[in-house]
Structure 1
Amino acid sequence: MFSRKRVLGAAAVAAGAALVLAGCAGGGGDAPEGEPTFNPDEEVTLDLAFWGNDVRAELYNEVIAAFNEEYPNITVNSSFLAFPEFWEKRQTEAAGGNLPDVMQFDYSYLRQYSENELLLDLDPYIGGIIESDPLPQNILDIGVVNDTTYAIPTSTNAWGMYTNPVLLEQAGVEEFGGGTWEDYTEWMGEVTDASGGAFWGGSDFTGRIQNFELQLRAEGSDLFSDEGEPGFDEERLAEFWESGQDIRDGIGVPQQRVEEVAPLSPFDTALTASELTWDNFGSGYLGNLGEGYTELGLVAPPITEEGAKDLYLKPSMLHAISANTDHPEAAATLVNFLINSPQSGEIFGTNRGIPASETALEAAELDPLSQQIADYEASIADRLGDAPPVPIIGYGTLEEKFRQLGTELNFGTVTVEDAVTQFFAEMDVVLNQ
């Protein structure tokens, strides 16, 4: 039987401390003196916005109905859009100063919105209206920008390696048993050779900035500091991209094949036996692989330095409150219910990812893949460190540039030296805009 307490305890130990609750300085889980309190008799209307589809919308409707059983005087008007349109509308609302009271939030936008003073400081509500007991400190810290909490994670995921058991059986190669990035490259080569040209061991991992980040974290650096300073120089980036040369020379899937199956990935289409990615991608992989696939392998990424805290928990999504809300206490009450209540766990299940809250997760019914992901996150507890600084403004642009240069490296249309020059030029523009 899976125990959430085991995961949270292990993750917190891996982060260097036992579970420390936000609000401890104010007296454990009790509300700090002078904290705002919500009058449940006040008639209040809140706007709630989220991204998703009709399935998620129906789940939100069910959770809102459960919320209204406890807070009948709070009317919640919800709306949803697909992810790109959701953020287009938020940008328009932000310019006009009329963001929704409560928003489902994405990590990549957190610094931009918080530093532009568009989000409410949640620290006065944590430990009181927003329960902190079910959320360990390393989870709460994810929503902190410049020492202030602006969002609370609904769910978490971690970087991992999915593998295809059907292809590995066909190749007669065992699951990747762990080891260094060089060991992983060698393993990929064994799979590629054993397949007889039918598929490949994996893709060029140097095309993903997250793999570079893992190596930097193992060395004690981050991609970018809170001040926006890069944690690497041209030489270190060149070293990383050069490490993928053997993969580009035949071990990994050719870039032309990658382009042919886009927008699906080579792993989605059974062209590769492994893929380094976020652990919440599993259900999408199973759906795309289709008939004949009932399970996937999920193992830890290669190791840069033994004992390093290179992995971390990332929010699948968060909830934040507009700085301009007329009802901050009621909004905080809604956020607490959406994240911490057993009703939210039971209704949402893993639709928003593995619940970050212990009380929500205990009430959630985990399907086999979700259980596998939860067990995986428990298994990497000794590698989990503190989350890195919240992504800099413009991080998405740099992530995409990194990917594009990785594609060009695989096509052989750019040298490592030129790729490094181009990336640093782009980074200079982003950091100084």
Structure 2
Amino acid sequence: MGHHISRRTLFRTASGLAAAGALGSSLAACSGGTGAGSTSSKLTMTWWGSDERHAAYKKALATFQKDNPKIDIQETYSGYDGYFDKFNTNVAGGSAPDLMQMDTALVAQYARKGVLAPLDEYVGKSLDLTGFAKTLLANGTVDGKLYGVPSGIGVNQLTVNRSGLEALGLKLPDREWTWADLKSIAREVYKKSGGKTYGVDDGGGGTLQCFEIFAREKGQTFFSEDGKKVGFTADTLQEWWEYWAEMRKLNAAPPPAITSAAHNDLTKNAVVIGKSLFTFDSGVYGAGGSITDAQLDFLPTPQGDWSGAREGNFVNGGVLLSATKKSKRIADSVKIISFIAQNDSAIKDFQLLRGIPPTDKARNLISAGLSETDKLNMANADYISQRVGKATDALPNPVPPPQGADQVWDLLFQSNLAVAFGKKSIKAQLGAFFDQAAGILSA
């Protein structure tokens, strides 16, 4: 996972959810139960990520082993695709790794199936979580117990072509901006550019996280707590689609052809191709760097500008490190988790490769070596995290996406396009959306 939660990341996670959903049948078919842990004399550890993340893990673990020569670590790493399929096979066969990188969207499923070990008894002893905010630790907490330690702060935010904005004589909006402010500056972009550039890419369905925050600002969730239905009302979705219909009409957002072309193709994102200056797709800039040469900056998702609007943002925990329940090396795994979280050398090894570091200490340690864009990115994530931590009206973090979530997300995208292309009226598409979403989630 990169610095933030991009739409592609969420679709990727959905494939992991499918793999997790298959875990129950896998276990039932095997006499090994939930797995007896590794039989190797070595502590087995597995993770997914980029080559850069692999190298960072290996370097940090080498440092750990110098100080802990009796803990011999066997490392296994890969890309995300197939990671949980392999993990499920190992669990069912009794050869689960002792320590693993866990997806925040999947931790509840694995914890409730008895695969992961609760870590509470180690906190404040061999597990040092000094500096971790409660809102961040919530990402690894299931039914009141801690099953995974978050790697960093993940937030939903807008990515802004700041150099393009400044070239038009416009200033970056204040972080405490609203949906009305977004509309205003997006219109100015189109006007100042002589109609060559739209303000913001179409968020009506093209980017999941902006609608989720909009719904949370109204006190509603994307999915219900049991995952059997959507958690927002037809009135909320109607208001959302009407907002973006007006944005398209005002040329504040691009026409549907541009939005459609960018679906699951980041190289065609409106900011990347120079057709807009604001995008909700944080995949434009992540742990692998930027895919545009423009000087980027970052802003929180706009706030609700109506009476009673709530804090809609939430903080995601990046990835987690979790110990498996049947492992005979849980105490040693905890030492590694604590080392990666708090050791100065390990923190510097990872930089931003597991997300924005989770503590002030870690962020201060790496800040000097970051690029200007990295620093802006980290500052905005830190700002959002602090604002969420102070909010008294924010909803709890979203529940893990249920089975069928990827289909519902795609339905939202396609529904917005149907409205944008004039194939359906908003009211007609509302009925179709809720009927189809109900069918998907009840299957």
Is the Cα–Cα contact under 8 Å of residues 115 and 326 in structure 2 kept in the other structure? yes
| Aligned partner of 2:280 among 276, 280, 294 | 276
Cα deviation, residue 260, structure 1: 4.2
Is the Cα–Cα contact under 8 Å of residues 116 and 325 in structure 2 kept in the other structure? yes
- 1:48 aligned residue: 45
Cα deviation, residue 230, structure 1: 4.1
Cα deviation, residue 281, structure 1: 5.1
> 1:260 and 1:230, CA in 2 relative to 1: closer, same or farther beyond 3 A?
closer
Aligned ranges 1:20-39 → 2 under 5 Å: none
Q: What is the one-letter code of the residue matched to 1:231?
A: G
Is the Cα–Cα contact under 8 Å of residues 98 and 324 in structure 1 kept in the other structure? no
- 1:388 aligned residue: 397
| Aligned partner of 2:416 among 391, 406, 416 | 406
Cα deviation, residue 156, structure 1: 0.7
> 1:407 and 1:103, CA in 2 relative to 1: closer, same or farther beyond 3 A?
farther
Aligned ranges 1:152-171 → 2 under 5 Å: 152-171=149-168
> 1:146 and 1:429, CA in 2 relative to 1: closer, same or farther beyond 3 A?
farther
Q: What is the one-letter code of the residue matched to 2:431?
A: T
Q: How many residues align?
A: 387
| Greater shift in the superposed pair: 415-424 or 343-352 | 415-424
Aligned ranges 1:135-214 → 2 under 5 Å: 135-177=132-174, 179-207=177-205, 208-214=207-213
Cα deviation, residue 200, structure 1: 1.1
> 1:379 and 1:328, CA in 2 relative to 1: closer, same or farther beyond 3 A?
closer
Cα deviation, residue 111, structure 1: 2.5
Cα deviation, residue 95, structure 1: 4.4
Cα deviation, residue 183, structure 1: 2.8
| Aligned partner of 1:110 among 107, 112, 122 | 107
> What secondary structure is seen at the aligned counterpart in 1 of 2:101?
strand
Quote the Cα distance in structure 2 between the aligned partners of 1:286 and 1:57: 16
Cα deviation, residue 310, structure 1: 2.1
- 1:374 aligned residue: 378
> 1:114 and 1:398, CA in 2 relative to 1: closer, same or farther beyond 3 A?
farther
Q: Is residue 287 from structure 1 mapped to residue 297 from structure 2 by the alignment?
A: no
Is the Cα–Cα contact under 8 Å of residues 287 and 355 in structure 2 kept in the other structure? no
Cα deviation, residue 430, structure 1: 4.8
Quote the Cα distance in structure 2 between the aligned partners of 1:392 and 1:400: 13
> What secondary structure is seen at the aligned counterpart in 2 of 1:320?
strand
Is the Cα–Cα contact under 8 Å of residues 47 and 78 in structure 1 kept in the other structure? yes
Q: How well do the aligned residues superpose, as a CA RMSD in angstroms?
A: 2.7
Quote the Cα distance in structure 1 between the aligned partners of 2:257 and 2:62: 50
- 1:224 aligned residue: 223
Quote the Cα distance in structure 2 between the aligned partners of 1:125 and 1:140: 14
Quote the Cα distance in structure 1 between the aligned partners of 2:91 and 2:279: 37
| Greater shift in the superposed pair: 167-176 or 73-82 | 167-176
- 2:325 aligned residue: 323
- 1:36 aligned residue: none
Quote the Cα distance in structure 2 between the aligned partners of 1:136 and 1:325: 28
Quote the Cα distance in structure 2 between the aligned partners of 1:53 and 1:300: 27
- 2:243 aligned residue: 243
Is the Cα–Cα contact under 8 Å of residues 200 and 251 in structure 1 kept in the other structure? yes
> 1:407 and 1:82, CA in 2 relative to 1: closer, same or farther beyond 3 A?
farther
Cα deviation, residue 304, structure 1: 0.3
Cα deviation, residue 331, structure 1: 1.5
> What secondary structure is seen at the aligned counterpart in 1 of 2:198?
coil
Is the Cα–Cα contact under 8 Å of residues 62 and 347 in structure 1 kept in the other structure? yes
Q: Is residue 120 from structure 1 mapped to residue 117 from structure 2 by the alignment?
A: yes
User: Percent identity of the aligned residues?
Assistant: 21
Quote the Cα distance in structure 1 between the aligned partners of 2:59 and 2:48: 16
> What secondary structure is seen at the aligned counterpart in 2 of 1:77?
strand
Quote the Cα distance in structure 1 between the aligned partners of 2:373 and 2:109: 34
Runs of 5+ in structure 2 lacking a partner?
1-39
Cα deviation, residue 202, structure 1: 0.9
Cα displacement string for residues 207-245 of structure 1 (whole angstroms, at most 9, x for unaligned residues): 233222222322333333543364322232222222211
> 1:356 and 1:238, CA in 2 relative to 1: closer, same or farther beyond 3 A?
same
- 1:60 aligned residue: 57
- 2:433 aligned residue: 423
> What secondary structure is seen at the aligned counterpart in 2 of 1:274?
strand
Quote the Cα distance in structure 1 between the aligned partners of 2:141 and 2:161: 37
> What secondary structure is seen at the aligned counterpart in 2 of 1:333?
helix
Cα displacement string for residues 94-132 of structure 1 (whole angstroms, at most 9, x for unaligned residues): 444543222212222223322322222222222222112
Quote the Cα distance in structure 2 between the aligned partners of 1:119 and 1:429: 32
| Greater shift in the superposed pair: 250-259 or 102-111 | 250-259
